[in-house]
Amino acid sequence: MTKIFRSGLPTRFQFAAGLGVVWLSLFAWAVRLVAQETVVLDMWPDKPPGETRELPPEADQTKPDGRLIAGCPVIRLGNVSTPQIAVYRPHAEKETGAAVLICPGGGHHILAYDLEGTEVAHWLNSIGVTGIVLKYRVPFRDPERRWLAGVQDAQRAMSLIRSHAAKWNLDPDRIGICGFSAGGEVAARTALLADQKQYPSVDDADDVSSRPDFALLIYPAYLVNRDQTGLRSDLPQTDGAPPMFFVHAFDDGVSVQNTLLLASELKRTGGSAALCIFASGGHGYGLRRTEQAVTRWPDAAFEWLREQKILNGKSPKSE
């Protein structure tokens, strides 16, 4: 089912008061001036693969005293049973034809839906890229493969996006994926699996490639083994992987080894990787700018996308 909304955050989500919230509201308002209507698409014609139990209703699980990022709360979307993509397109005059599927993080328990989802889509719109937020299933279904439901949803989303490329004015050869934390694992596995679908085909859309053309992995998690000396044994091989861009802080509680070891393996197998490693910055900052240098990573990401010939415009001036 396809639904159309005005661009912006889902109306059911409300932010607490605060200066940071005012800043975000102004940013979202400014982006709306140059963005097209948002299309929301249910991803599976019936139940998603492997679904056997009923969850409580989908809801924002943010608590009044929850952690603030850059002075603002974070939408913590939980109990997702109906995966969707929300398609945020820039103004027609600004479109580059490129698109990015965005995988929010949340430890495979919840989705940081605004911090690592809709706010990323707004930034992508500002550089002429269609941002497509993936609302994948959480909490995890399989305790041995916590990534599986998310990867199934991401692969299905990639195929659906390419199936709609002409309708959404996209170049099917410039469709990438971006993931944060646990969403970084979803994005990395989707990129490495290429067209090895993790579910049985459900319709003709699944005949379309699910391989991302590039990947942005922002403080990715769950890629290394317990002692952090190597990549997880069940991680797909890196041969033939698309170009990847990494961001991580050295003091991140989610070890920087997730980035360093995957990038090293890409190097070993002839792949391409760009690394932005910062001394400090912690974890879970999204695109919200603070005094920490790591929060300037979108500037480097823009330049990398330009070098990869994903974009066809000039770099916007940094805020």
Sign of CA dihedral 126, 130, 135, 141: negative
Residue 38: pLDDT band (50, 70, 90) is very high
Residue 12: Cβ within 10 Å count: 9
What range defines the domain where residue 171 resides? 2-8+18-48+58-307
Residue 52's pLDDT is 86
Is 53 a domain residue?
no
What does pLDDT average to over the chain? 90
Is 174 a domain residue?
yes
Residue 22: pLDDT band (50, 70, 90) is very low
pLDDT digits (tens, 9 = 90+) for 224-238: 999 999 999 999 999
DSSP state, residue 290: -
Residue 35's pLDDT is 66
Given a cut of 70, whether residue 168 has pLDDT beyond it is yes
Is 228 a domain residue?
yes
Mean pLDDT of 113-132: 98
CB under 8 Å to 47, separation ≥6 — which residues? none
CATH of the domain at 190: 3.40.50.1820
> What total of structural domains would you count in the chain?
1
Is 30 a domain residue?
yes
Q: Assess contact for 152 and 164: CB atoms under 8 A.
A: no
Q: Assess contact for 253 and 268: CB atoms under 8 A.
A: no
Given a cut of 70, whether residue 25 has pLDDT beyond it is no
Residue 317's pLDDT is 37
169: left (phi over 0), alpha (psi -120 to 50) or beta: left
d(C-alpha 76, C-alpha 83), whole Å: 15
Is 319 a domain residue?
no
DSSP state, residue 255: -
Is 81 a domain residue?
yes
Is 123 a domain residue?
yes
CB under 8 Å to 297, separation ≥6 — which residues? 218, 247, 276
Given a cut of 60, whether residue 2 has pLDDT beyond it is no
Is 312 a domain residue?
no
Q: Which pTM value belongs to this model? A: 0.89
pLDDT digits (tens, 9 = 90+) for 48-76: 999 988 899 999 999 999 999 999 999 99
